[in-house]
Amino acid sequence: METLLKVLEGTVDLHCHSGPSPFPRRFDHVEASYDGARIGMRAILVKSHHHNTVMDLLAMKTQLKDAPTAMYGGVALNSEVGGINPSAVAVAITMGGRCVWAPTVSAGRHLDAHSHDDGFPNNTGNLYEEEVSIFDASGAVSASTDLVTRLIADAGIMLTGGHLAGEIQAELFKTARANGVTRLLVHHPDFIVNVSEAALDQLLGHGAFIEHELAMYHPGVSAPQWPISRLVDWIRKVGPERTVLDSDLGQQGNPLPVDAYLLIIQQLLDSGISAADVRQMICKNTAYLLGLEESNR
């Protein structure tokens, strides 16, 4: 345990679903900060599919004043904030946001994957989500998308591909790189977005990091409960220097993020992934993407 805790010291979780949220959450942002201290987390990025999480953190400023783990927020460009909305991005950045998520629950790929339901707890009622596209009527990357990427570049913050299909993420990242965005992240390439080999090569060519979620390998989460060998294969395929491991946890009924780190990181070490490579994926790459470091070296 002592060795594992040394490996985990300084972890940055870029995918925490603490509350508030219209979906049931196990804990709020303040509680998440204190829980992160169990493994010496350096920082946590709070993700909501529905609203600007920087507002949450500023509203909790007093409670977070002495909290042990630094908390950061951003905005996801789903229909709840007007989709690809430069104004929503500008507000988040002005308030201190560190991430812009491309459409997640409003992405066509997500809607197709969950056409039978919303893919999330169904006790929230109708949120009236609509599909959001990065393209205009002609099929070109829209002017709003272009402006959003320029705002992100000017702020030096992270852009993720959300739940967009791999090929669409590649078009988004091509525009983003042309406009100067340097911090790019692809979520769960083998879940919902199902990135093809060709798209994966394009995304890596644009300088993107590939994220895998510990939740998907934890037996305490209902789905998908993949074997650790699958994650090991991905790490060896892409390389630790371009791989990111985050929790994607905080939902009611699921394990706490810290518990997932304790379990899954130990499994990776037992599977032959070196401590140095693990720290590259959970400390260095993540700190760079969040803007805490100028490089991931």
In a domain, 296, yes or no: no
Mean pLDDT for 285-295 is: 98
Mean pLDDT for 155-168 is: 97
Mean pLDDT for 19-27 is: 95
Res 221 pLDDT > 90? yes
Q: Give a three-class secondary structure readout of 20-31.
A: CCCCCECCEHHH
In a domain, 297, yes or no: no
Res 118 pLDDT > 50? no
Q: Given 3-state DSSP classes, what are the helix, strand and coil percentages for the chain, each rounded to the nearest 5?
A: 45, 15, 45
Q: What is the pLDDT of residue 129?
A: 84
How confident is the prediction for the chain on average, in pLDDT? 95
> How far is residue 261's CA from residue 22's CA, in Å, rounded to a whole number?
25
Three-class SS state of 213: strand
Alpha carbon separation from 10 to 13, 22, 154, 260, 279 (Å, rounded): 10, 30, 27, 16, 9
Instruction: Provide the residue range defining the domain that includes 270.
Output: 2-289
Instruction: Report the percent of the chain where pLDDT is more than 90.
Output: 90
* CATH, residue 202: 3.20.20.140
Position 156 confidence tier, pLDDT thresholds 50, 70, 90 = very high
> How far is residue 235's CA from residue 99's CA, in Å, rounded to a whole number?
24
Q: What is the pLDDT of residue 116?
A: 44
Contact 290, 14 (CB under 8 A): yes
102-113 pLDDT, tens digit per residue, is 999 999 888 887
Position 209 confidence tier, pLDDT thresholds 50, 70, 90 = very high
In a domain, 294, yes or no: no
Place of tokens 């977070």: 64
240: preceding bond cis by omega (within 30 degrees): no
Specify the number of domains making up the chain.
Answer: 1
Q: What is the pLDDT of residue 113?
A: 75
The burial of 115, by beta-carbon neighbours within 10 Å (0-12 exposed, 13-18 middle, 19 or more buried), is given as exposed
Please choose, from the candidates 56, 35, 39, the residue with its C-alpha nearest in 3D space to the C-alpha of residue 47: 56
Three-class SS state of 226: coil
Please choose, from the candidates 103, 105, 77, 113, the residue with its C-alpha nearest in 3D space to the C-alpha of residue 192: 113
Mean pLDDT for 183-210 is: 96
> How far is residue 114's CA from residue 109's CA, in Å, rounded to a whole number?
9
226-254 pLDDT, tens digit per residue, is 999 999 999 999 999 999 999 999 999 99
273-286 pLDDT, tens digit per residue, is 999 999 999 999 99
Q: What is the pLDDT of residue 114?
A: 67
Res 217 pLDDT > 90? yes
Please choose, from the candidates 141, 147, 196, 198, the residue with its C-alpha nearest in 3D space to the C-alpha of residue 174: 141
In a domain, 295, yes or no: no
Contact 227, 258 (CB under 8 A): no
Res 117 pLDDT > 50? no
In a domain, 127, yes or no: yes
Q: What is the pLDDT of residue 123?
A: 53
Q: What is the pLDDT of residue 120?
A: 52
One-letter amino acid at 11 equals T
44-83 pLDDT, tens digit per residue, is 999 999 999 999 999 999 999 999 999 999 999 999 999 9
Tokens for 34, please give them.
């204190």
